[in-house]
């Protein structure tokens, strides 16, 4: 299968894990469906509901451009869906946090919102309002999820968090 997983995160607003390689192994085995649950990924935050977001390319879909999808725990995503990506303006030069990857989408469609999140934190935000007002609506009428991977400027510990839309996600750096 020619799907390439760029980034995948499974977690809560408190704690998450990078599941990129697990997802790549699933598609390499010939499966284009990924079930977001603790059996597939392990449980990064026991007792709390998890969210999953994935960014990938499939040369046969979306003109080969990246596709972003997201869902809640115990849902299955079909990676042959068509998603699309929008690119916000580049962030200003002053940064306190480096956003590695941020994804916002539903089980049907989503987009990469890394530059939007970088712009927000570069302009002083320590929390992100996860909603369609912040990111637009990649799939009207359907629940969206969000995941973010970031570090303090200069590197160090990598933080991976995930949540559903209409949540305020605080960005701890210690």
Kindly report, residue by residue over 123-143, the tens digit of the pLDDT: 888 889 999 989 989 999 999
Please report which helix (H) or strand (E) contains residue 158, including its range.
strand 158-164
Structure-block tokens of residue 142 = 């359907």
- Overall average pLDDT of the 57-84 stretch: 78
- Which residues have CB under 8 Å from 116's CB, separation 6+? 88, 102, 134, 135
Q: How buried is 2 (Cβ within 10 angstroms: 0-12 exposed, 13-18 middle, 19+ buried)?
A: exposed
- Overall average pLDDT of the 156-161 stretch: 87
- CA–CA gap between residue 105 and residue 16 (Å, rounded): 17
User: Has residue 84 got a pLDDT over 50?
Assistant: no
Share in percent of the chain as helix, strand, coil (round to 5)? 15, 40, 45
pLDDT averaged over the chain?
85
């Amino acid at each position: 299968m020619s799907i390439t997983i760029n980034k995948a995160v499974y977690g809560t607003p408190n704690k998450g894990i990078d599941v990129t390689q697990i997802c790549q192994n699933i598609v390499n085995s010939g499966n284009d469906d990924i079930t977001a649950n603790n059996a597939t990924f392990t449980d990064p935050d026991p007792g709390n509901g998890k969210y999953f977001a994935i960014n990938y390319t499939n040369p046969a879909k979306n003109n080969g451009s990246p596709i972003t999808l997201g869902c809640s725990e115990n849902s299955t995503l079909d990676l042959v869906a068509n998603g699309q990506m929008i690119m916000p303006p580049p962030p200003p030069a002053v940064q306190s946090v480096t956003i590695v990857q941020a994804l916002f989408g539903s089980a049907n469609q989503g987009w990469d919102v890394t530059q939007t999140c970088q712009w927000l934190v570069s302009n002083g935000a320590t929390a992100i309002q996860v909603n369609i007002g912040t990111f637009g609506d990649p799939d009207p009428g359907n629940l969206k999820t969000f995941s973010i991977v970031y570090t303090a400027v200069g590197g160090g510990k990598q933080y991976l968090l995930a949540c559903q839309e209409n949540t305020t996600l605080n960005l701890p750096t210690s």
